[in-house]
Amino acid sequence: MDLQLAFNPGVAFSVGANAPGLVVLAVTGLITAGVGVALWRTAPAAWRLWGTALAAILGGAIANLIDRPADGVVTDYLHTGWWPNFNLADVFIVCGGLLLVALSWRTDRPRPAQT
């Protein structure tokens, strides 16, 4: 792993790199808002790990949204040599997503809290 500066005008793996910057910003903003609403609505009755996973995704998405408006790109700086460049926000998004997938395979579902 080393540092290599790269600028990504699209989203993950430069998907949508040719789309207008405002469209990319609007779509990622809507998805981020959706994750935020999901976290807010499920937090009281969900597993703590479920909330942690959603919070990791939300934090990474917000970080990328903050990075994008200044120049229309997200700055990527981590390089493995065999994977496209990425940043720490991407790490949180991917790890949160993997945790959500792992938690969705659990068979012992907790009951919602009684009010």
Strand partners, 75: 7
Q: Which residue in the list 2, 67, 71, 90 is annotated as catalytic?
A: 90
pLDDT tens per residue across span 97-112:
999 999 888 766 656 6
pLDDT tens per residue across span 42-70:
877 777 888 899 999 999 999 999 998 88
Q: Which residue in the list 2, 67, 71, 76 is annotated as catalytic?
A: 76
Is residue 90 among the annotated active site residues?
Answer: yes
Angle in degrees, CA 58, 105, 109, rounded to 5: 90
Closest CA to 62 of 98, 99, 22, 29: 29
Q: What is the pLDDT of residue 72?
A: 86
Q: How far apart are CA 39 and CA 54, in angstroms?
A: 6
DSSP 74: E
* Whole-prediction pTM: 0.82
Strand partners, 74: 8
Alpha helix ranges (H) inside the chain: 21-42, 48-71, 88-104
Domain range annotation of the chain: 2-10+20-34+46-104
Is residue 67 among the annotated active site residues?
Answer: no
CB 11 within 8 A of CB 90: no
